[in-house]
A and B are shown apart, each in its own frame.
Chain A
Amino acid sequence: MSKAWWLPVAVLVLLSFDIWNWHQDTLLLFMPGWMWHVATVTALFSLAFYLVARSGWRDE
């Protein structure tokens, strides 16, 4: 499979460790800003896996 499709997955894994947000507690609506980041990264794994499934995962 094309290795290029693993890049978004790798980026999201790195973004999962948002050490720059540690100790931050400012509320944005009902959650702190860093939780929006976590929720977005979590949901984006779906998009990254969609790319893997579409372009890299062939039936064998």
Chain B
Amino acid sequence: MLLLAVIYILALLAIGVYARTKADNTPEGYFLANRGFGPLVLFFTLAATNFSAFTFLGFAGAGYTHGMGQYGVMALGTACMALMFYVIGRRVWQLGKTRGYVTPGELVGGRYGSRGLQLLFTGVMSVFTIPYLAIQAVGAGYILQMLMPSVSMEVGAIAAIAVICFYVLSGGMRASGWTDVVQGVLMIAAMVAAVAFVGHALGGFSQASAAARDVSPALFSRPGPGSYFTVKIWLSFFVLWVFCDPMFPQMFTRFYTAKSQRSLRTAMVLYPLLVSFFFLLPVLIGVWAHGTGIDVDTPDNVLLLMVERYTPPMVFSFVSVGALGALMSTADSQLLSLSTMLTADTVGKNVRVSRMVTVALSAFAVVFVLFGYDPASGIMGTLVDTTFSGLVVLAPAVLATLYWDRATHLGCIASILSGETLVMLQYVVELPTGGFLPSVVALLFAAVILIAVSMLFPGENADAARATETR
């Protein structure tokens, strides 16, 4: 059990050390791997960064709770989101290359010459990402504890943070990208192994599905158990993933790292293909659990419970390490993008300061773990619950910055502030949404405010022509 985890961790550390030998200490080298990721590295780093423990374990849990519809609400929108590699990624890459941008805030604030907008944009992205980073650490601790019961969750979490911190400090974006390739391949192989072995143990895929359908036919249709998947919810999730995923700082920053537009094109083409089968696998296991009579106390544990019960110990270890890979590949990207933003957008592109911020963020995650902070409570809990809503509200400002000459910095600031206010209001008060997800209403609201304020207060927008010169 322990051997696979040790090999995995040693491999990550080795990549971190190797990446350091290849990297220079320039800001572009550390923050963006010298904008040199080829098609395959960019594809894997975009996938591994976006597919977190939520994809690996959370989809199975949601499949167990809501049925097969979980696959549709996640896969369709995420696949279509790859078009944003063209719509947003291409222009971000062009502007980054010509103007030397390394953060999302620089691009949005730079268009209008607005330092306030730059700081606001970075602040919002950071506020909604830092709690997620801390929670990934807790998740890593639980997975390591399942692999090695003698190790406490806290020790496992701190070990995972230490490993991530080490290779991010060593090789920056280059180490993050290269480890993402390894972790991406591992994650996919582990999920395929999990479904193959569990399906075989249950008498074949058809038998496994038939048994679950006998117990709960509603799992196999929409709206599903509890009537969750209405057409409006289906539409809401589609819109949410298309506009929210590129707003994750760890995704947005990766657009800068492409070696050429060919890298972005290849990633755009391959992404939906991977989503089409990868997202299906955990949902199948979650639904199949109903036909086995297995006792599931927490839905998010259903995948590992099924794998533990129905596969040999070696496969269970492999799948657990795959889950760890999904989690760590997201966490390292979050750690690097956060430290890049919190440095470059405040004191400038200073690698040394960024490394100090990386250590500080890692220390914050350790404190979060050690003090046993309940992720579901308080300010942190609120931020985690509203992460997708909080980030999707940034999309109108980004799209307007890239495409709309008449957009103004006041419009963007008003859009972000009013959108985030609505997100928080929606969290504390039940506001009418017409059956759609609250985040989609907030997105629409932010877009309307941006257009209205930009038109009402045109102001000067001297940089518009330069910002759109690369179209």
Q: Which residues of A lie under 8 Å from residue B262 when comparing CB positions? A: 59
In the complex the two chains form, is B76's CB within 8 Å of A16's CB?
A: yes
Within 8 A of A (CB), among B325-351: none
What is the CA–CA distance of A29 and B94 in the complex, to the nearest angstrom? 47
Assess the B206–A39 pair: CB atoms within 8 A: no
A17-B231, A29-B206 given; A23·B222 CB < 8 A: yes
In the bound assembly, the distance between CA atoms of A25 and B280 in angstroms comes to: 17
Question: Cβ of B86 and Cβ of A52 under 8 Å apart?
Answer: yes
Q: Are A45 and B79 in contact (CB under 8 A)?
A: yes
B220 contacts the other chain (CB 8 A): yes
Interface residue from A13, A19, A32, A53 paired with B221 (Cβ < 8 Å):
A32
Q: Is the CB of B209 within 8 A of A31?
A: yes
Dominant secondary structure of chain A at its interface with chain B: helix
Contact present for B222 and A53 (CB under 8 Å): no
Contacts of B82 in A (CB 8 A): 45, 49
Within 8 A of A (CB), among B250-290: 260-262, 265-266, 268-273, 275-277, 279-280, 284
Chain B residues contacting A60 (CB-CB under 8 Å) are 94, 261, 470
| Chain B residues whose C-beta falls within 8 Å of the C-beta of A11 in the assembled complex | none
> Which of chain A's residues have a CB closer than 8 A to the CB of B217?
25
Query: Which one of B83, B209, B223 lies within 8 Å of A22 (CB-CB)?
Result: B223
Interface stretch (choices B67-75, B107-115, B170-178, B425-433) = B67-75
**Is B90 an interface residue, CB under 8 A from the partner?**
yes
Interface residue from B68, B208, B222, B276 paired with A42 (Cβ < 8 Å): B276
User: Given contacts A23-B221, A30-B209, is CB(A59)–CB(B261) below 8 Å?
Assistant: yes
Residue of A nearest to B94 (CB): A60
Total chain B interface residues with beta-carbon distance under 8 A: 47
Contact digits for A10-30, partner B, Cβ 8 Å, 1 yes 0 no: 001100110101111101011
Q: Is A7 an interface residue (CB 8 A)?
A: no
List the A side residues contacting B72 at CB < 8 Å. Answer: 34-35, 38
Complex Cα–Cα for A52 and B205 (A): 36
CA of A17 to CA of B222, assembled, Å:
12
- Complex contacts, A42 vs chain B, CB 8 Å: 75-76, 79, 272, 275-276, 279
Kindly state the separation between the CA atoms of A13 and B284 in the bound complex, as whole angstroms: 24
Query: Bound state CA distance, A7 and B431, in angstroms?
Result: 37
Q: Are B231 and A19 in contact (CB under 8 A)?
A: yes
* A35 and B71 within 8 A (CB): yes
Residues 203-219 of B, flagged 1 when their CB comes within 8 A of A and 0 if not, give: 01110111001000110
Interface residues of B (CB under 8 A from A): 68, 71-72, 75-76, 79-80, 82-83, 86, 90, 94, 204-206, 208-210, 213, 217-218, 220-223, 231, 234-235, 238, 260-262, 265-266, 268-273, 275-277, 279-280, 284, 470
Q: 20 A-B residue contacts at CB 8 Å?
A: A9-B83, A17-B235, A23-B222, A29-B206, A30-B204, A30-B209, A34-B72, A35-B72, A39-B276, A41-B76, A42-B79, A43-B79, A45-B79, A46-B269, A49-B83, A49-B269, A49-B271, A52-B83, A53-B86, A57-B261
